[in-house]
Structure 1
């Protein structure tokens, strides 16, 4: 269990993290999202004990992290984006070295890590000779060496090919059955496929904290309707559709749609909330005797929600 209560962090006059609070139970995989500079890395480093808080408390299994920092750190495994590996060492020797540091028995721990992280085939290879995917696996083994209750992963699939990404994701899912896992990533599809819950940080504050399955519902499922029309100009269509109270705005489509004719136009109708507006749109098109080639819902996505909530972070 991780608990943050009114945690803030200053660097000089700059407030990197601004009064955030959340708790994560054992067995939950949480995606921690935010733009660069939003405060997510600072938050992770405070949870690991690498940085102290300016104010507020962080508790690991009910105990303040500052009361016994060594004990707290012993419960945490951390894998940064670029795992700090010794490239000249053989994988097996590296794992033995880690076992010695963490007072683990190599004869018991190494076979377990080999199986969990899929390292059996590369145990006799130099780390520097490994593919990016296997290096990530070694980094994950490093984070798991002391069998931590909490695992914090920063961009765990960065730079991997599709097959390697799938392997690492499956590995994280398996680990997440018994451990608390925090993942920081810019790959939003990864969050949707891996995480039970999403926490989004913007300008040092939490702007969303919700189960992944419920986040889209919170912001509406249907955010727009795409049209391809013929028989009207964009100005004419905009004037007609803008008269609806349920329609927030009407814009030209910027996606790469395939136009069926030179006279056809692409329109995107943005609706207010989770409203089904297509029947009314169709009636208007028939009434004005326009030709309809396409009418499709644009579903809300985690990417759309992320952009909406963090837009003020983007300079």
Structure 2
């Protein structure tokens, strides 16, 4: 177990930034860490990286306690904070050499060369950090987090400021890292969560409200499953309703499309095709509708009942 958090609590005066949250993160996976602003995400990450101490509860990284064995934890964790702290007057290679020295990285020159290539910094490597765009500064921060080859990577908004091409490259890199390391990935970009993460934790007002694989979260929240179908002309809603597995039918008044709400575990797609043939209709489209990660996030954080969701 790479990261283990047990009943972690953090108080700022009377405010509970974290309220007894517990979760585990294993190697070989990317854990999405989501929550509204002020939910406690950054506080949790700062505790795991030994920047803050908790009020109560415990957290370990690769078996080392963040309170009693913080030096060992720091050696095992690479951290890219949301507000990437860089020395803007330093040249890119100079900064990475400085960070390598601070982390006592062996074969620092070859490691820096490798990471400049991996993070796509080659064309910019001769520049001062202050002359780099926000996207390239993010890459420098990511390279710094990876310099000492940590077992755990904690990335807070790592894709912020990247253009679409840079986004694809960094996404691919994070996916590759997730195959061998433990990656905890915090972002407000829901498409990134859906594209990268194997599992999602959602916290709201300091409490854990969800901890599940993405697809399981969607299934638990979806309630009414539906199938959107379109024909070349009007169909009889009553006949559509008679298809096995269809609970009810919603008609689109502006076209020849229909939303079929389904019984639990029903899959009537073959029956819909037969219906079209039998009624001399051309089936123009058929699509199972699914909740997006954003819809899951909004459903959980807008209706927080103060404990882990059982939706």
- TM band (smaller chain): 0.7 to 0.9
Match of 2:137 among 135, 139, 142: 135
Greater Cα shift, 188-197 or 304-313: 304-313
Over aligned residues, Cα RMSD in angstroms? 3.8
**Residues 65, 31 of structure 1: alpha-carbon distance in 2 compared, 3 angstrom cutoff:** same
CA contact 1:221–1:299 (8 Å) conserved in 2: no
Distance 2:70 2:219 in 1: 40
1:241-272 alpha-carbon deviations (Å, 9 max, x no partner): xxxxx99999998xxxxxxxx97699878778
SS at match of 2:212: strand
Structure 1 runs of 4+ with >4 Å offset: 224-229, 246-253, 262-281, 292-297
**Residues 300, 223 of structure 1: alpha-carbon distance in 2 compared, 3 angstrom cutoff:** farther
**Residues 175, 247 of structure 1: alpha-carbon distance in 2 compared, 3 angstrom cutoff:** same
SS at match of 2:216: helix
1:163-192 alpha-carbon deviations (Å, 9 max, x no partner): 111011011112222211100011111111
- In the alignment, which residue of structure 2 is the partner of 1:205? 207
Is 1:310–2:310 an aligned residue pair? no
CA positional deviation for 1:118? 2.4
Distance 2:294 2:58 in 1: 31
- In the alignment, which residue of structure 2 is the partner of 1:234? none
**Residues 110, 25 of structure 1: alpha-carbon distance in 2 compared, 3 angstrom cutoff:** same
TM-score (norm 1): 0.78
1:195-236 alpha-carbon deviations (Å, 9 max, x no partner): 12111112222222122343323334864456899xxxxxxx
1:113-156 alpha-carbon deviations (Å, 9 max, x no partner): 22332222222112122233221111101111222111111111
1:251-300 alpha-carbon deviations (Å, 9 max, x no partner): 998xxxxxxxx97699878778665689999xxxxxxxxxx999864322
- In the alignment, which residue of structure 1 is the partner of 2:101? 100
* Count of matched residue pairs: 301
Q: Where does structure 2 lack aligned partners over 5 or more consecutive residues? A: 232-244, 273-282, 305-311
CA positional deviation for 1:56? 0.8
CA positional deviation for 1:87? 2.0
- In the alignment, which residue of structure 2 is the partner of 1:237? none
- In the alignment, which residue of structure 2 is the partner of 1:173? 175
CA positional deviation for 1:310? 1.0
Is 1:16–2:31 an aligned residue pair? no
CA contact 1:196–1:212 (8 Å) conserved in 2: yes
- In the alignment, which residue of structure 1 is the partner of 2:146? 144
- In the alignment, which residue of structure 2 is the partner of 1:153? 155
SS at match of 1:219: helix
Distance 1:201 1:174 in 2: 26
CA positional deviation for 1:2? 0.4
**Residues 223, 69 of structure 1: alpha-carbon distance in 2 compared, 3 angstrom cutoff:** same
- In the alignment, which residue of structure 1 is the partner of 2:241? none
Distance 2:57 2:180 in 1: 28
- In the alignment, which residue of structure 2 is the partner of 1:42? 43
Distance 2:25 2:87 in 1: 33
**Residues 294, 61 of structure 1: alpha-carbon distance in 2 compared, 3 angstrom cutoff:** closer
**Residues 250, 17 of structure 1: alpha-carbon distance in 2 compared, 3 angstrom cutoff:** farther
CA contact 1:48–1:78 (8 Å) conserved in 2: yes
CA contact 1:222–1:276 (8 Å) conserved in 2: no
